Every structure is written in structure tokens, then in C-alpha cells.
Amino acid sequence: MTVKHKPLVIVTRKLPDLIETRMMELFDVRLNLDDHEFSRQEMAEAMQEADVLVPTVTDRLDAGVLSQAGPQLRLIANYGAGVDHIDLATARARGITVTNTPGVLTEDTADLTLALMLAVPRKLIAGEKLLHDGEWTGWSPTGLVGHRIWGKRLGIVGMGRIGTAVARRAKAFGLSIHYHNRHREHESLEQELEATYWESLDQMLARMDIISVNCPHTPATFHLLSARRLKLLRREAYVINTSRGEVIDENALIRMLEAGEIAGAGLDVFENEPAINPKLLQLENVVALPHMGSATIEARIDMGEKVLINIKTYADGHKPPDRVLEDWI
């Protein structure tokens, strides 16, 4: 559908100044200058007016909200790669195209994944806290003894862009790469990474030293690491999650961490964020971060550029390049 006028674009959160300025030049834009989170009423009102909505991961666009969209709303240009906060089936039924920002978050999220992979086994946060609290009394042969990651087996759940980037980094750190995916990767990639493919997720989980969750949250991956599957992990294993909290049964994970049934966890995402189960913050074998996997200025600008391209392509009467397709549902 060709839009004859500048489309009204409503942005739900504060974006980098560079992106907002470019948006103002190209479109009729309503910005969220104080960066408050939209209420359901505000979201419904925005969808009744906008030609294009630019939401973020914190905006829950369920069937109830989408049902209030005006007939002119034809594009939801999501600022982010994940779209599990959008009811895609309802959007499609109402003729609304959904786009995202794939690819631009890959390297930053992979960096953070490796940071957690080092921080948890090597007790980096506990060491920093000891210094910060003024309790360090000097070097000791048995002080803050952790585990090396060199030579360990890494099991990657989801070998997409981010999973592959994690594997490349991990290989350089001397880890043996294993992965489970919906589809087996090309032989050339397996050879490059010296990676072992596991068709059975259960079998892979039972044999790994570190598990890295890098798959998106979809109905098919909700609690993919269920209580039953978490029980398969070795007592010495670590779990790293920089994907989505809903992929892991968080309550089951907490119970196992409390009981010492797994060695530790590094988490950048949580099942009910921004609410965090306080038990997680009390565990010494957990490193928890506030969903900052893509939090670099470079990534935030690149995300905005993707949004601009998707809206401009739509406004010019063409199909946006980053349409979210059927396999997300």
C-alpha cells in the first residue's frame, strides 16, 4: 500500500538523538521525549492514530491492544530483533506488517555472552565485591577458586546469527563447540567451528559443561529448558542465557541453583522482567545483568537505521526488507 503523505510515526520510547532527528526529517513523527513506558490506554490511542508504530521489547502488543488499532495502521516497525511481545497472528489477521532489526545485535550480544561465560565460573563478581567491601586481605592459594573454561564443552541452544557468533568466540577461548538447532548447519560452518551437531537436545544437555541459550522466544521455545531438561544437566554445568527469560523454567532453575544441582548461571534476561525473582539476586553462583546484551551505542544506532529503512520502504510503497515471516508464529 502506497502512502501518499508522510506517514504518522509514533515512537513508544526515547531513541538515540541521531535516529530521532532523521525520523523527524523523513516522517511526521510523535516522539516519547520523557521515555516513559506507555500504558495500555496510551498504546491503544497511539494505534488508533498512527500509520506506523515503533514499539520496543517492553511494549506488550497482545490481541486486546491490537484489536483497537485503527484501519490506517499497516506497519509495526519494531525497534529490536525479538518480537515475542507482539501477537503476530493477530497483527497478520488485521493486515498489519511487522518488521524487526535482525543482524545488528549479533556481535554485542555474543560479546556479553562470553563475558558471562567467564564471569560465572571465575567468580569475577564475587571478587569485585570483596574488594569493593574492603574485605580482601591479600592473595590466598584457596581464595576465590573457580573453574577454567579452556577445554570445556559448550552446548549452544540455537545456532542462529548470535549462536554462531558465540561459537566463534568460544572456540578462540579453547572450548569444544556443540549445538542443537531446528536444522543442522552447513558442513562448512561445522568444519570451521569444529562443531558437533546434536539432533537430541536432551542428549546434548546431559554432556555439556556450559549451556548457552541463544534461540528466540516463540511458542515452540517457551520453557524449552524445562524442569525435566534442567535435571539432565551435570552438577558441574553452568547455564548462560542472553536470549529470552521465557526459554528457561526460571523457578526450576532457581531450585537447582539453591540445591547445588548445577554449578551456576549467568543471566541477562528473566522470565518476568523487569520483575526479578529476589532469590536469584541472593545466590552467590549467579551473575545477573539488566537485559543489556545489545546495549552499545553502535547497536542502538544500527537498530534505528534498520527501523528507518523499514518505514521508508513501506512509505514508498514497497515491502520492507525485515518483515517478520510465518516461521515466527
Q: What positions carry a catalytic annotation?
A: 244, 273, 291
Side by side, which strands form the sheet with 264-267?
Answer: 196-197, 176-180, 153-157, 210-213, 238-241, 264-267, 286-288
176: which 3 cell numbers?
A: 569444544
Give the C-alpha separation, 265 to 153, whole Å: 16
Here the cell at position 267 is 543471566
Which amino acid is residue 212, in one-letter code? S
Close Cβ partners of 174 (under 8 Å, ≥ 6 residues apart): 149, 150, 151
Output the nine-digit C-alpha cell for 238.
553452568
The label of the residue with cell 547497536 reads: 299
Helix (H, G, I), strand (E, B) or coil at 76: strand
DSSP calls for 109-135 = HHHHHHHHHHHTTTTHHHHHHHHHTT-
Cell of 25: 526529517
Give yes or no for a contact between 288 and 275, defined as CB atoms under 8 angstroms apart. Answer: no
DSSP letter assigned to residue 291: S
The CA distance from 126 to 144, in Å, is 8
